[in-house]
Structure 1
Amino acid sequence: MAIQAKKIVMVFGVFDGIHDGHRNLFEQARKYGDELVAVVCRDEMTTQLKGKLPKFSESERVATLKKDALIANAVLGDEYLSSYNILFQLKPNAICLGYDQQTLADDIVPWLKQQKLDIQVIRLKPYQPEMLHSSLLNQGWFGF
């Protein structure tokens, strides 16, 4: 009997303070594979994308995610936008994107086709997006 390889599912994000929306993302993504890998956006990339540094450093964010029972591994993402070298290194079977990651979807799907990589891209359902989006929480809006 052949040993079947574990199916690796990957999520991408800044993960600057884990909230219930992130936990829901992890729970949904975990259903698509055996091991969930969280790819953490580097500090410099976060500044380029969002115009500001995250509250927690990239090493703090990775360390926090590594403690999460749903996550098999947390790693830093690439140093350059749209390079996706991490996909060649970790070889995921699927990438799960949050409801608010349309820009990433628009970038990564054509890149996967160009590279001829057979990695499934799955859009996950929102979880109370008006209450738990990180940008709202960081502004002090708590939905009460």
Structure 2
Amino acid sequence: MSKKNTETVITFGTFDVFHVGHLRLLMRAKSMGAQLIVGVSTDQLNYSKKGRYPVYSESERLEIISALKCVDAVFLEESLEKKRNYILEQNAHILVMGDDWKGKFDDLKDICKIVYLDRTPAISTTEVIEKIRL
């Protein structure tokens, strides 16, 4: 059995107003291992990061992400500072994040491999929300 077939991949995000960029990131993350675990940011964490609450509640976002066939498990991420704890608790081998976070989690290289994926060009939740407002 190859190593990829046994590794657990973990990623984190708000995943508000779910779009194709989110889907592509999750599918690429899943392709790196046997299991994909997703930490979905709580409403409060999103507010502390962005100064606004998500459009969809944390329970709705958990339901959306957990329904995806590429996702094996979900949990609520309450704090950016707990990433190390979450990775260890979930026995993750690989942390995958969008490249907008590039370098921010390199201090975790002692416990897992870190991969920053290119974002899908010309799409973001902020842009989607702005289009809807127009």
Q: TM-score range by the shorter chain?
A: 0.7 to 0.9
Q: Which residue of 2 aligns with 1:109?
A: 106
Give me the identity figure in percent: 25
**Residue 89 (str. 1) matches residue 86 (str. 2):** no
SS at match of 1:139: helix
Pair 1:140–1:10, CA change in 2 (3 A): same
Q: Which has the higher strand share?
A: 2
Higher alpha-carbon deviation: 132-141 or 50-59: 132-141
SS at match of 2:119: coil
Deviation at 1:97, TM superposition (A): 0.9
**Residue 126 (str. 1) matches residue 119 (str. 2):** yes
Letter paired with 1:7: E
Distance 2:120 2:53 in 1: 25
**What are the within-5 Å matches in structure 2 for residues 28-47 of structure 1?**
28-47=28-47
Deviation at 1:100, TM superposition (A): 2.1
Distance 2:79 2:98 in 1: 21
**What are the within-5 Å matches in structure 2 for residues 1-144 of structure 1?**
6-77=6-77, 79-84=78-83, 85-102=85-102, 105-106=103-104, 108-110=105-107, 112=108, 116-117=110-111, 119-128=112-121, 130=122, 132-140=123-131
Distance 1:42 1:30 in 2: 22
Larger radius of gyration: 1
Q: Would you say the 8 A contact 2:42–2:76 is kept in 1?
A: yes
Deviation at 1:99, TM superposition (A): 2.3
Letter paired with 2:46: T
Gaps of 5+ in 2: none
